[in-house]
């Protein structure tokens, strides 16, 4: 158990490391001494860091209602102000209700509203392959591909291969 470097009485719970001119200095402080020195303690850390991030997203950028966007979600009553403060939407309907402002937010954060990374490949127990096709149907196509290769029907095999890749 480290003792506070400042008072020497209480347990140090805040550990500050400072590097000045290649010299490393570490200071171990109890919560009370850290507060006296102006260091934010855990009690002062933001409860909703995403909300703080959204609030700091460029001064002058607002998520408040825009023309055609309801003031509150008809399902749960959440508002864009609630989202901005907490970083959380109230229900699934909020995504539809606030689609416009959320799309603008995604565009500012990511530069686009279309996902351009790798496609999510869910677990085998997921509801189904992309496009709503059941895993059994995907397996059936793979079996047809195997038979087409065995029969040397390479045109059909290529078509099936491309269809399977699209589903996976």
In whole angstroms, give the CA distance from residue 110 to residue 113: 7
In whole angstroms, give the CA distance from residue 96 to residue 68: 12
pTM given for the model: 0.36
Predicted local confidence at residue 52, as pLDDT? 59
Task: Report domain extents, the chain.
Answer: 1-45, 49-110, 131-167
Please list the rounded mean pLDDT of every run of 10 residues in the chain (168 residues). Answer: 87 83 86 81 51 53 52 87 82 88 80 69 51 68 87 87 80
Predicted local confidence at residue 128, as pLDDT? 45
Predicted local confidence at residue 54, as pLDDT? 60
Let me know if 33 is exposed, middle or buried by CB neighbors in 10 A (0-12, 13-18, 19+). Answer: buried
């Amino acid at each position: 158990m480290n003792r506070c470097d400042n008072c020497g009485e209480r347990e140090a719970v805040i550990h500050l490391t400072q590097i000045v001119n290649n010299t490393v200095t570490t200071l171990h402080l109890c919560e009370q001494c850290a507060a006296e020195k102006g260091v934010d303690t855990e009690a002062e850390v933001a409860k909703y860091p995403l909300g703080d991030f959204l609030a700091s997203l460029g001064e002058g950028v607002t998520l408040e209602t825009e023309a055609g966007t309801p003031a509150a979600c008809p399902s749960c009553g959440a508002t864009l102000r609630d989202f901005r403060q907490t970083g959380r939407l109230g229900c699934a309907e909020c995504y539809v209700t606030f689609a416009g402002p959320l799309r603008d937010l995604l565009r500012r954060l990511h530069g686009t509203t279309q996902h351009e990374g790798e496609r999510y490949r869910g677990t085998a127990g997921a509801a189904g392959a992309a496009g709503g096709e059941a895993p059994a149907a995907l397996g059936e196509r793979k079996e047809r591909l195997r038979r087409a290769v065995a029969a040397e029907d390479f045109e059909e095999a290529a078509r099936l291969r491309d269809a399977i890749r699209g589903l996976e």
